[in-house]
Structure 1
């Protein structure tokens, strides 16, 4: 698929000397949902801010649908909607006035039908004439999302959009994200709720200390880096792992009543068959088997803490 955003050799060093991004290269596919994961201070917000023209890069280039974000800033920025972490609304304006102004700032003609659709999608239609200062925190967050969609962007950035919001907003927002993706909008999100990334994203990018560790299709990533476990519940407890099984990645739990075999996808069939054969040869009887697989959160924690390196 052709990229809608192409990032080449992007670096950012602040005046303090802190290097937030280090020679980052990234292609974002048209129409995908890309989740950027990383600990606090990894460089996620700096990356988004540079793409959106809010921060100047120290070096490198960003193209948005072929438009250079420095040389052709206005054309590039018109394609982008941004939902920032912080609430940045004019608290004295009404919801409707805020959306009309945002759409006009991007050079779009008035379109009351589109703005009404956005407000209804976000359960804001009944609040359209209220001043933002009188809204709840969750409603103010909804207004930020509506502002980002007012000018019908081709690319939508969601920077920690559900941090600290209620369950209802989170559900509504992800339903809206799915609809936007179905309409061809490219969506880039950062989130600390890794289960959301696991459910929503087509691809996962992991940033650590300003470097892009990997970008991979979600299912491929979980198959390649994820591990599986087979728990064998024994009839009689073992004091230690028998010598015949010593070469397998096994551990004993539950006071010796459970034998846990950890393996990757490539070793699934041969490994389990070997384990069960060796158990039979050793005269070890079992009464139940249970399998489980690493979640995206497990993989993320291992990557950002350096316990696992991408291959």
Structure 2
């Protein structure tokens, strides 16, 4: 099943040598590895974002691909380092700090093992406590991706139900409305990606061209309220106009045609950002 593919994600950015060090460690382990990057621009310390980007990406990669995701504010603490095996037979090498939440919920995880740092840590790094991305995750990921170790050799098996999960906001559907949270931004374009699935939104029987009252709260503070058209794509409205659409992961999105909704209305993301769509 091994494909010799290693995909890296982190909040390290590319302004220093951290990512290059991870690549170097992987290539020392197996020079023939093919290494790709999911992103290294995760908002610093944002575990939820790391979890979402994995969910957004993994299904487009072949079976046997190994992903290393390092967004690790608890580095050096008692949080576990793990490898998860997904239902699609891909490996996710990451801290057990909530990063696996979205994959567990939407992709499925069939087994998880704790990385044994006795076996699967680079030699002579045991006195460095703050760069597990290089010394544990990239190293273990490279060993797995290259087939130098089997999944069983990662370390002791853990229970899948014990994986640490972040709380999620439930979708509330009424006769004429649906409500959830703003999970994440389509960062570059400033579109809002909500937690509301296409199937839940379609319980309102929307038609393209229908108008909905969109309400956004930050905790209890009203941030936005307006009537917005539901369209197929951004060009269904004039430049500068807002639109409701279904995004590439089949959830409800809100955008401004050729503009940034997030910037225009100072909207951010997280469980405290509530959004509702009411049919007019």
Larger RCO of the pair (alpha carbons < 8 Å, separation 6+): 1
Taking structure 2 as the reference length, the TM-score comes to 0.26
Relative to total residues, which structure has the larger strand share, 1 or 2?
Answer: 2
Relative to total residues, which structure has the larger helix share, 1 or 2?
Answer: 1
Q: Which of these two proteins has the greater Rg computed from alpha carbons? A: 1
